């Protein structure tokens, strides 16, 4: 049985609305990055399925999280098929992130009462994702859309839970929240090439900026 439900994910994501996205082929380094993010205040974290060892490393990360950071929700990203969703859920995934709207993946998540976060862009796609009971809709790729696009979406979909993802610049994060973002997902921009040194402080500062952005909505 999963440690967290769909409702748990949505509640925590709205409480700490920064979700790092990360992949690395070495488990020890992946643990360092995850630990730094947790120390900075992150409580929802996505490890992506982008390499041949992704499942094995994810399983090791989940055991690490359960032992060291039991309040952290660790999800699996870049999931396209129901089979991959089942494999990562069996390895302990607390939520599933998909780049696309795949009804079979949605059905797997519903069966396990796990949060499903699919990628979408148009109004029709977002509506389809919500009809499939997406916990958060990943508005992707954000770098090609801009905050004004999310602000426009808020007209017909004032209550939709939007996760902004894909090329988000750190300096733009408060603007995304002023435009109506619910959460933001950041990958390489959060972790410069020098490694996890200073990452905890960077995460903590970004969460402060997010709160400032949400305060003026």
Q: What pLDDT sits at residue 93?
A: 98
Question: pTM above the 0.75 mark?
Answer: yes
DSSP, res 38: H
Assign 3-state DSSP to the chain and report helix, strand, coil percentages, each to 5. 50, 15, 35
**Across 46-55, 65-74, 183-192, least confident range:** 183-192
The tens digit of pLDDT for each residue in 62-88 reads: 999 999 999 999 999 999 999 999 999
The tens digit of pLDDT for each residue in 139-181 reads: 999 999 999 999 999 999 999 999 999 999 999 999 999 999 9
Contact 68, 60 (CB under 8 A): no
Contact 193, 24 (CB under 8 A): no
Confidence of residue 10 (pLDDT cuts 50, 70, 90): very high
Contact 111, 82 (CB under 8 A): no
Confidence of residue 197 (pLDDT cuts 50, 70, 90): confident
Q: What pLDDT sits at residue 212?
A: 86
What average pLDDT does the segment 5-27 reach? Answer: 96
Q: What pLDDT sits at residue 58?
A: 98
Residue entry with tokens 């494999």? 87
Give domain 6-212's CATH architecture: Alpha-Beta Barrel (3.20)
Contact 85, 105 (CB under 8 A): yes
Domain range list for the chain: 6-212
The tens digit of pLDDT for each residue in 92-142 reads: 999 999 999 999 999 999 999 999 999 999 999 999 999 999 999 999 999
Q: What pLDDT sits at residue 11?
A: 97
Long-range CB contact pairs, 153-162, < 8 A, 24+: 153/123, 153/126, 153/180, 154/179, 154/180, 156/123, 157/123, 157/126, 157/127, 160/126, 160/130, 161/10, 161/14, 161/134, 161/135, 161/136, 161/137, 162/136, 162/137
In percent, how much of the chain has pLDDT > 70?
97
| 115, two tokens | 């949060």
Q: What pLDDT sits at residue 217?
A: 55
Q: What pLDDT sits at residue 194?
A: 64
């Amino acid at each position: 049985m999963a440690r967290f439900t769909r409702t748990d994910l949505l509640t925590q994501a709205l409480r700490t609305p920064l979700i790092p996205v990360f992949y690395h082929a070495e488990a020890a380094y992946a643990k360092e990055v995850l630990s730094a993010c947790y120390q900075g205040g992150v409580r929802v974290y996505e490890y992506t399925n982008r390499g041949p060892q992704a499942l094995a490393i994810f399983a090791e990360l989940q055991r690490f999280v359960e032992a060291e950071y039991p309040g952290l929700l660790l999800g699996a990203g870049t999931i396209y098929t129901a089979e991959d969703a089942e494999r990562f859920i069996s390895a302990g995934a607390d939520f599933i992130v998909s780049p696309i709207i795949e009804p079979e993946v949605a059905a797997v998540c519903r069966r396990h009462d796990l949060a499903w976060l699919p990628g979408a862009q148009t109004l029709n796609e977002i509506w389809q994702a919500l009809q499939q009971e997406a916990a958060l809709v990943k508005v992707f790729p954000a770098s090609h859309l801009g905050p004004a696009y999310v602000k426009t979406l808020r007209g017909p979909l004032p209550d939709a839970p939007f996760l902004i993802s894909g090329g988000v610049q750190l300096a733009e994060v408060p603007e995304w929240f002023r435009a109506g973002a619910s959460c933001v997902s950041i990958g390489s921009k959060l972790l410069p090439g020098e490694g996890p040194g200073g990452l905890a402080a960077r995460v903590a500062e970004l969460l402060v900026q997010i709160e400032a952005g949400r305060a003026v909505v």
